[in-house]
A and B are shown apart, each in its own frame.
Chain A
């Protein structure tokens, strides 16, 4: 501003920076998006048309992989396992997280920080190590969990948690709940703090009971967070891999009894790294994409329908 001579140029520059700033700000995203998202996705499509064996060995199979996997009941077991897991896990995680958050949000709770930390702590343990810990906690006759259950009923000491197809699935859900209930709780706590106190007072004046207050004040207030947790949680659940993989690796069979631990991503991983065919793995990946898109669309529709119903 003081330099009169350079004013023309500098003001032009100034205008330019103002004009192009937003593009510059989103440029890193765009660059990475093209390099590590668009390009690989296209590559993934083309790779899925080939079968690979070694660094110099590949063969064009066209839609062969897709045709093969459509008729592959192992893939369908993986799909069924993944979906059932996602439903059961979300169905338990959301209420448990919300329940904990409601308890902790009670103004009479003391040492809230400590409790919050305690419930959140399991989330700090990586998936892989949670698996190792749970294999040991669940070991037949010797693990902490059978021993604790055996205290109530001696027969439960002999329960094989990882060797029975149903029990193994329960074990996976329990381990992932231990890991993530605290995670959901923190989000709900944040949401509960955002709910307007006056609304509660107003509801109390109207003579609303605790249930009706929950139903008409709390629930609408935390709805966005709930939607977020459900959508992101479901997407995460559909990508389940490390937990069952490490658990059943430790238990001697690749995917658990009767493939109880086989998930879509595990199947993808097996195709890519156990059988060494990255083309087949890419094809499996596209089944996962379709599944996730489908589920996400359904969930968005439901939440939209819910919103319209309210208004």
Chain B
């Protein structure tokens, strides 16, 4: 008898039977490690697990096994997949969850939306107080991971923000950039810089990287002035006069006669190219971004320098914070004590922090650690400048950053205002007062809408 569904189907039938047999015979569930950790950044994975290259030290995971006898598996799950899978697990109250998860600051709000008793993560206050870490970690960094005083995550980082610039190109133009202490001075210097190079035929030389279609670079400026779109208490701050002023200033940086900015492709390699070619000569950077630039643009070693951000007025912070990671324990984890031990080991122990140094320049939030001489070394990439020390200095004046479920929507709104304001600047160049008035009007409308949204999504305990 012939097979009337045709050869391809026959082949697929055989294939599926063979694969099914293979899948069924696969050596069980490869016996699960004692602790399963989800991370979303490759650098973190390397830090915990090593990158396969031979080292003198055993990996952190290996050291932890020797100490406690617990086997740890690190699994890399990109942010978006982690979000979908974790939301789905938490909503279904799944049992088979990872034991420890690292979450990104932009995703955390959704996990904290339920009443505290129904949040998929375990409260960590007890662990933190018991172990004494509560007082040794920079308090401002617990803010994003807490709800009503209950802490659900341990901060991985501080992520202070500085500016990094092509010193050689600015020197050639005769400009001492760090001397510019305020943003208006800074902008004037950048315009001079661009004119200098344009006069020499370099048309595509933009001073600084500022995104004109998202709020990524506006947020640090707002944080400098101690404003979050929505603060920890749920207050909407976007209609404050300072907020409006900052948005207007930003718009005049990305468009119109005082434009000093351009954009770079999202991937790290793109910005590195722009820096190498001198298309963009300053970029706003937290500590984590430094690693990527060093990796993709090793040739710029010695040509780069770092400086604090200029301020708008006295009282502003010379830094901001950008990005962030926490480590937490899902509520359905079978062995929370062991999971906590692992978190302590990876985030706070001497070994953990040493391993981190090896793979990244990310400053830990452990204040007591900052006196370590390792942070006083000069960095040849920055011509011997003590950049770690600068980051620590900045960390001390770090403004608090809050995220709420409505923050993502607020950021979407801000990106819209930036686009609209930039268009306005192009149409009415130089009319600062009109721009501010227009921004105020937009932001007032947005605040009204945000209030409505927060009200709708609210769950009272």
Contact = CB atoms under 8 A, between A and B. Distances in A.
Specify whether A and B are partners: yes
Interface of A: 51-57, 59, 64, 68, 71, 73-74, 135-136, 139-143, 154, 157-158, 160, 162-165, 168, 249-259, 273-278
Given A254-B412, A276-B91, A140 B456 contact: no
B263 A140 contact: yes
B118 A54 contact: yes
Interface in B171-211: 203-204, 211
A53 B266 contact: no
Contacts of A135: 265-266
- A contact patch SS: mixed
B70 interface: no
B113 A276 contact: yes
A261 to B, nearest CB: 11
A252 B204 contact: no
A257 B415 contact: yes
7 contacts: A54-B91, A73-B449, A154-B203, A249-B80, A257-B213, A274-B83, A276-B113
Given A136-B267, A257-B419, A252 B457 contact: no
Interface in B65-103: 80, 83-84, 87-88, 90-93
A157 B206 CA distance: 14
A252 B214 contact: yes
Contacts of B452: 71
Given A136-B267, A141-B274, A276 B416 contact: no
B408 to A, nearest CB: 6
Given A74-B409, A253-B213, A253-B411, 4 more contacts: A168-B213, A257-B213, A258-B419, A275-B113
Given A139-B270, A142-B265, A163 B91 contact: no
Nearest to A164: B213
B279 interface: yes
A258 B416 contact: yes
B229 to A, nearest CB: 14
A282 to B, nearest CB: 14
A307 B80 CA distance: 48
The 4 closest A-B pairs by CB, nearest first: A54-B114, A54-B118, A139-B265, A257-B213
B115 A53 contact: yes
A56 B118 contact: yes
Contacts of B405: 275
B264 interface: yes
A275 B138 CA distance: 29
Given A68-B456, A275-B405, A276-B110, A57 B118 contact: yes
A258 B415 contact: yes
B216 interface: yes
Interface of B: 80, 83-84, 87-88, 90-93, 110-111, 113-115, 118-120, 203-204, 211-216, 262-267, 270, 273-274, 279, 405, 408-409, 411-412, 415-416, 419-420, 449, 452, 456-457, 459
Contact of B263 (A136, A154, A163): A163
A181 to B, nearest CB: 26
Nearest to A165: B419
Nearest to A56: B118
Contact of B459 (A57, A74, A142, A257): A57
A253 B415 CA distance: 8
Contact of A142 (B115, B273, B412, B419): B273
Contact of A55 (B113, B118, B267, B459): B118
A308 B405 CA distance: 54
Contacts of A256: 213
A136 to B, nearest CB: 7
A273 B456 CA distance: 17
A158 B415 contact: no
Nearest to A270: B408
Nearest to A255: B412
A277 B114 CA distance: 10
Contacts of A55: 90-93, 118, 120
A140 B261 CA distance: 14
Contacts of A259: 412, 416
A158 B408 CA distance: 29
A258 B267 contact: no
A53 B270 contact: no
Nearest to A68: B456
A209 B450 CA distance: 62
B457 A275 contact: yes
A57 B114 CA distance: 7
A54 B212 contact: no
Contacts of A162: 213
Contact of B211 (A57, A252, A254): A252
B213 A163 contact: yes
B71 to A, nearest CB: 29
Contacts of B115: 53-54, 57
Interface centre among A54, A64, A162 (most CB of B within 10 A): A54
A131 to B, nearest CB: 12
Interface centre among A249, A250, A273 (most CB of B within 10 A): A273
Given A158-B204, A258-B415, A274-B408, A53 B114 contact: yes
A161 to B, nearest CB: 10
Contacts of B274: 141-142
A151 to B, nearest CB: 15
Contact of A141 (B91, B114, B120, B279): B279
